Structure formats: structure tokens, C-alpha cells
Amino acid sequence: MKAQENGTMKLAQKVRPKKQWSGSLKGENSWTMFKMISEFVEGFEKLNKIGPCVSIFGSARTKPDNKYYKLAVDIARRLTEEGFGVITGGGPGIMEAGNKGASVYNGTSVGLNIHLPFEQSHNPYIDKDKNLNHRYFFIRKVMFVKYAQAFVALPGGFGTIDELFEVLTLVQTKKISPVPIILVGTEYWSGLKKWIEEVMLGKENNISPEDLNLLPIVDEAEDVIKIINDFYAEEKGEHRLQPNYNL
């Protein structure tokens, strides 16, 4: 009995007081939802009108003399020639290249900017009436995904990887319609795909074998266009140009 009491006392001594917030929570945070709603409304009203687009992801740090910058311009040009609009994150680097390729060749050029303390400022190649500014990453992602009929990922950092796997998850879980997701740059992406195949699938069995088909890797603009055109070929009839989901 005494041993049991001692054990209970020791257990009680290990339990610490519940953690508390350091400082009072501001009541005004409850009103943040209205900022979010207004951001959604602005995005939907503008993007509903622009027609089918392709989202291009990539690093804000890529310089104009980089081969991937030039390739992004070429991909956007070809998408424009095929009748698609181009959506980017609106900033410099690969985003600028995507908007440039669309704008210079008289295509629809959309920029979904995000307020950041560094790196981000909108590039000059976005259509003036299609330049959206976002406070919240998650709303920006909704706009990226809802109106894109394909996703093209060029080399980038954490943000590019985040956007890529967000889209992969949505397609894999059937939360959005299946759409082409294309990685551009064998040298850059092949290591990641190898790890997905050998470790994520082969060693841990955390995905299905068919999930690997969601990640084609190419190196040329024409390969990007072929994948998208083949996917939406009229004779298939199963994939339509329409927003990816309804909220």
C-alpha cells in the first residue's frame, strides 16, 4: 500500500502545469476571416473570367541568363500559342520568365503575388488586371490549383517543392480532377524521383506504384506541350477544360 502511495506521489510530481499562452490573445484575430473572405472573392471574380491556364512553378532566385529561365520563357510562349493562359507566383526568377513568355507573345499573363519580407515583388510582365496580391499562402494555393489545367515545375526551392507536393496530394487523393503535373529538368529532379521510387515506394511502401506516373520529367518545351495536348486530346473525351473543383 505504501509503495502504491509512493508511486502515486512520484507520478503527481512529474505532472507539470498546463502550458499557457505568453500574453493575452487579441480579440481582433477573430476578424481575420473577413480578410480571408475578401481575398477569396477578389481571386474568384478575376480568375473566373480568364479561361484555361497552366501554372508554372519555380525559383524566385533564377537569373535571366540561367538555362531554366530561358526554358520557362519558351514553355510559356508555346503554351500561349496553344491557347492557354499562364499563371505564376508573380515574382522574379522563373515566375518572371513564365509571365514574360506569355506577355511578349500576347498571351494571358497572371501573377499571384504573396506578401513576403524578402524576395517577392511583382514582375513587369503580368497583365495589369490580372495581378493579384495575397496575404495568405493557402488562399494563393487555391487560386493556383482551381484554374490550372496543368502544372509545370521548373527547378526551385522549398516553395516550389511545397506547391508541387500540394498538387500531387490533391490529384492522388482525388480532391481535384486529374491534370498533368510535369517536372522540367532531368538533372534537377531525377534524384528526387529516384528517392520517391526507391525509398517512399520500394522501401516503405508509402505510395502506390501508379503514383509514379504522376511525375513525368522532361527537358524540352515541346515535351511539355505534347504531354498536355495528349492529355486533352479530343478523341479521348475524358478530360475537359474546366476548373478543378467547386468549393
* 129 CB-contact burial (10 Å; exposed 0-12 / middle 13-18 / buried 19+): exposed
| Cα radius of gyration rounded to whole Å, the chain | 23
pLDDT, tens digit (0-9, with 9 covering 90-100), for 215-229: 999 999 999 999 999
Q: Which domain holds residue 54?
A: 34-230
139 occurs within a structural domain: yes
Structural domains of the chain, count: 1
In a domain, 7, yes or no: no
Q: Tens digits of per-residue pLDDT, 62-87? A: 999 999 999 999 999 999 999 999 99
Question: How confident is residue 155, by pLDDT bands cut at 50, 70 and 90?
Answer: very high
In a domain, 19, yes or no: no
Residue 42 burial class via C-beta count within 10 angstroms: exposed 0-12, middle 13-18, buried 19 and up: middle
**CA nearest to 217, candidates 169, 159, 164, 170:** 164
Q: What is the CATH number of the domain that holds 85?
A: 3.40.50.450
Among 133-137, 179-183, 203-207, the range scoring the smallest mean pLDDT is 133-137
pTM for the structure as a whole? 0.85
